[in-house]
Structure 1
Amino acid sequence: MSDIAHHLQQVQAQIATAAGKAGRAPDEIQLLAVSKTKPLSAIQEAYAAGQRRFGESYAQEAVLKVQAAQAAGLEIEWHFIGPLQSNKTRPVAAHFDWVDSVDRLKIAERLNEQRPDSLPPLNVCIQVNISGESQKSGTTDAAVFDLARAISALPRLRLRGLMAIAENTDDEGAIQRSFSQLHDLFVHLHESFPSMDTLSMGMTQDLEIAVASGSTQVRIGTAIFGAREYRQE
């Protein structure tokens, strides 16, 4: 068994344990393997171990990996999870299945315009800045409803949920409060937008808190692939 396969097993066991503590079924929580900055070979190892959902943040690098994976016959569900600049929307619209980080209408409109007719609607999540940190992307709680309503009217997009990144802090109480706030917002929005079925929150360091707070998708990179190289596109 490869190191990546072993790490995947450990993460899956951690999700199952967290779900059990929260009185939830493990299959309620999807694992999104964050493969940004990692080579195709690492993705292939995770794929061989059964992983099918992968998250990328750098458009130019990601598109090359998507194309290479397709050429290798890998059937992957690709999520774009990073901040998306308006000049990078076209390749993302053409190559990804999901964009989990839509934070403003301009980006949604460009994705809708540039999504090829030959592909199914692009699944999107709205990123919410739950920590209030200026360096983090995401819309505000107050603006989410209007953005959700606008996205739901775009024919080549399908509104699927909310995504957030917790504050980088050791204060687990603060993380729990912000996750619970996002969960409450998600439940409220679902009443008006029933296509919303995804609440993406929780990463390697706060997975258990996220699962206890109702997350349906956790984004795990370091615990699967090891430390990543920090870079900007």
Structure 2
Amino acid sequence: MTPNANAIAMNLTQVRQQITDAAQEANRTPESIALLAVSKTKPVSAIRAAYAAGQRLFAENYVQEGVNKIHECQDLDGIQWHFVGPIQSNKTKDIAEHFDWVHSIDREKIARRLNEQRLPRQAPLQVLIQVNIDDEASKAGITLHQIDTLASFIRSCPHLQLRGLMAIPRANSSENEQASSFSALQHAFLELQQGDPKVDTLSLGMSGDLASAIKYGSTMVRIGTAIFGARERNA
């Protein structure tokens, strides 16, 4: 059930405080970490409530749902839309034309299609490479060793701008396993960043691992339930 506008505003305040606390614990500035509100399955009214509370970055997992919401929120100045779900080849046109950021590029074919289908009048699509940091068969993403090859291809695409890496770590991993995965991803991000000043984004961390993600250099955390409440039962 989606909370009312006041509850969403309070939730946002609490999440921002958690980010501040985690940043200070990691000797980082809270301003160096962006909050991405994952609004999948939630109504436009919830997005508008979060926007009214100062939130500007929103993420969607499902293409058509996201496109519909983008159209319905065209009157909201400064809103930014991120696509964070798996990408099917037949959905790239809608993603390329409607979203500002894509977090889930994991193969050249998808990068090529997004580049070709981005409208010439639009600014370059800001993109992240999805890394399957724990080598889970059920998740999309490339291995750490494949990053350089895909990054080189993306850099050759004039309508794409490479900004960094994204990962969805294994759920319920031990503290040591989590630290090993996060550290490896942070190292890969820092290597990717060398010689490329536009690479500035490590999209890592959700409600359950926010503090650890920030400790290991995340610059963007993806939070859904803690802001909007649990997903709808049939979603």
Fold shared, TM-score > 0.5 on shorter chain: yes
Q: Return the letter of the residue paired with 1:177.
A: S
Q: Does 1:171 align with 2:174?
A: yes
Say which of 140, 143, 162 aligns to 1:159. Answer: 162
Shift of 1:75: 2.9
1:229 aligns with 2:232: yes
Partner of 1:197: 200
Partner residue of 1:27 out of 24, 31, 47: 31
Q: How many Å apart are 1:170 and its aligned residue?
A: 4.5
Match of 1:46 among 36, 47, 50: 50
Contact 1:198 1:216 in 2 (8 A): yes
- Is 1:97 matched with 2:100? yes
How many angstroms apart in 2 are the aligned matches of 1:46 and 1:31? 12
Q: 1:230 to 1:81 in 2, by over 3 A?
A: farther
Provide the secondary structure at the position in 2 that maps to 1:2.
helix
SS at match of 1:101: strand
Task: Work out whether residues 40 and 65 of structure 1, in 8 Å CA contact, stay in contact via their aligned partners in 2.
Answer: yes
Report matched runs for 1:94-173 at 5 Å: 94-173=97-176
**Residues 230/159 of structure 1: CA separation in 2 closer, same or farther (3 Å cut):** farther
- Distance in 2 (CA, whole Å) between partners of 1:34 and 1:51 is 11
- Aligned 1:51-62 pairs, distance under 5 A: 51-62=55-66
Matching residue within 10, 16, 20 for 2:14: 10
The CA distance in 2 between the partners of 1:95 and 1:198, in whole Å, is: 21
Residue 188 (structure 1) aligned with residue 194 (structure 2): no
User: Aligned partners of 1:11, 1:100: CA distance in 2, in Å?
Assistant: 21
Following TM superposition, by how much is the alpha carbon of 1:74 offset from its aligned partner in structure 2, in angstroms? 4.1
Q: Deviation at 1:214?
A: 0.6
CA distance in 2, matches of 1:83, 1:50: 28
Q: Which runs of 5+ in 1 are unaligned?
A: none
Is this contact kept in 2: 1:176–1:210, CA < 8 A? no
Matched, 1:79 2:82: yes
SS in 1 for 2:163: strand
Paired residue secondary structure (2:194): helix
Normalising by structure 2, we get a TM-score of 0.95
When residues 230 and 176 of structure 1 are mapped into structure 2, their CA distance, relative to the original with a 3 A threshold, is: farther
Taking a change above 3 Å as real, the CA distance of residues 230 and 84 of structure 1, as seen in their structure-2 partners, is farther
Runs of 4+ in 1 over 4 A off after TM superposition: none
C-alpha deviation, 1:176, in angstroms = 1.7
State the distance in 2 between where 1:53 and 1:22 align: 23
User: Residues 231 and 155 (structure 1 numbering): CA distance in 2 closer, same or farther, change over 3 Å?
Assistant: farther
SS of 2:73's partner is helix
Query: Percent identity among equivalent residues?
Result: 54
TM-score by length of 1: 0.96
- The 3-state SS of whatever aligns with 2:24 is helix
User: Per-residue CA shift, 1:168-195, capped at 9, x if unaligned?
Assistant: 0151221121111100000011114332
Number of residues paired by the alignment? 231
Partner amino acid, structure 2, of 1:228: R
